[in-house]
Chain A
């Protein structure tokens, strides 16, 4: 009995500490909004890369990142309206990985929706994933906001269907981020036709949030921080007043503004990725205003990993990054400048030495 009480007390203490970072910005932001119907929060967990070793063994490190995100999301107050999972639940698309990932996510006390990542897709082209989580692309409405989920990690048919002797090899070739045998991600004709029809039903003043796994902008082709038909999708979204694109895949903080469209990336729970500029041989286009995450310290296993909760601020997405071994970061839409900005570090003088990647 004493033991139970003690652990319960510890749990409450931990809960209070965890919630402190989150509760304050939510209440502050909600007071400031003009249209309360469009103000709500949801949590975003992404890139868990659950990796099967053999039998009942999985890579412990990646498991821990996802388990922690789930536990912390359950502690959020006020409770987020729903949870998005941003893709790459598995590492090599195996049933074992998707099942084990779904089992960990089953602890969430929220409605969860899913985005397809390339690590979930290229073994069986999403067949088992669909059985677990539903269609690969879809839309839904929530409190006056129109949400769209795309499978943005498809590629040329020739690469997918004709190039590889087995589906296992196809998966391995696409799983290597820097593999020159890979192929650029794209949304493709079929989904763009669907997107056009879906958007035709939406009023131009309705806030739109698009979830994709790859950035719907072009940053660095060599690592598929890239979507081949990005401009065509941006053109479809152009007539709408407020559009936010939220993407995973890059395992780092990125943000950008192109015309009316705000772009924000989310963190991985598994491991961080270097910024493309740290690859000396790369020609890359990281958005100039992005303030990088602190450079990863591999001695801290969960460093530069985490998850985020997102406030829809009058239809614009404000991202609160919950980073396990780093200070929290907030990237918020600046309504005067009409672009996302880091709440603390946007001014170059405010940056820390650890944010100077090279």
Chain B
């Protein structure tokens, strides 16, 4: 009995040590973690801003920012919403692709293309602080 108990304690200590060595317990994270995650996000936002102002995202030199300075009037907080021109409820990335094909005379991006994710990160970041109003026109 005593033997077994000490074995159990040893084992528990080993498990605890291992988890301390790799990462914190599941429900805890530090300021350093928060900063790192924010930094990861802001790097993608910056990539999105570069794409937004890039004359080479499409084929005719037109950039998203030409019509949407600071991504204004893209209203990401209202998506998904019914788009009368598409005849259905659509997410933001479908509208971004519409713009890529038409004013930019370019090719659409896949929904999970890192460029598409970056564009959406930038658009949403510029609209931070605005309340969600899905479906609103």
Contact = CB atoms under 8 A, between A and B. Distances in A.
Interface of A: 51-53, 57, 59, 61, 176-179, 222-223, 271-274, 276, 278-282, 295-299, 301, 353, 357-358
B69 A273 contact: yes
Interface in B65-79: 65-70, 72-73, 75
Given A280-B130, A281-B126, A298-B98, A178 B65 contact: yes
B69 A59 contact: no
State the 3 A-B residue pairs at the shortest beta-carbon distance, nearest first.
Answer: A274-B73, A178-B69, A274-B72
Given A178-B70, A272-B67, A274-B72, A53 B128 contact: no
Given A281-B70, A281-B128, 17 more contacts: A51-B60, A51-B61, A51-B62, A52-B61, A57-B60, A177-B66, A178-B69, A178-B70, A179-B53, A222-B70, A223-B69, A273-B67, A279-B72, A280-B126, A297-B85, A298-B103, A357-B73
Contacts of A52: 61
Contacts of B99: 298
A51 to B, nearest CB: 6
A280 B129 contact: yes
Contacts of B67: 271-273, 298
B137 interface: yes
B73 A296 contact: yes
B19 interface: no
SS class of chain B's interface: helix, strand, loop or mixed? loop
A253 to B, nearest CB: 15
Contacts of A297: 85
16 contacts: A52-B61, A59-B61, A61-B103, A178-B65, A178-B69, A271-B66, A272-B67, A273-B67, A278-B72, A279-B70, A280-B126, A280-B127, A281-B70, A281-B128, A296-B73, A301-B102
Contacts of B127: 280
Interface of B: 53, 60-62, 65-70, 72-73, 75, 85, 98-99, 102-103, 126-130, 137
Contacts of A301: 102
A53 B58 CA distance: 12
Contacts of A298: 67, 98-99, 102-103
A353 B137 contact: yes
A282 B128 CA distance: 12
A260 to B, nearest CB: 32
A312 to B, nearest CB: 33
A140 B102 CA distance: 43
Contacts of A282: 70
Given A177-B65, A222-B70, A298-B102, A280 B137 contact: no
B62 to A, nearest CB: 6
Contacts of A279: 69-70, 72, 126
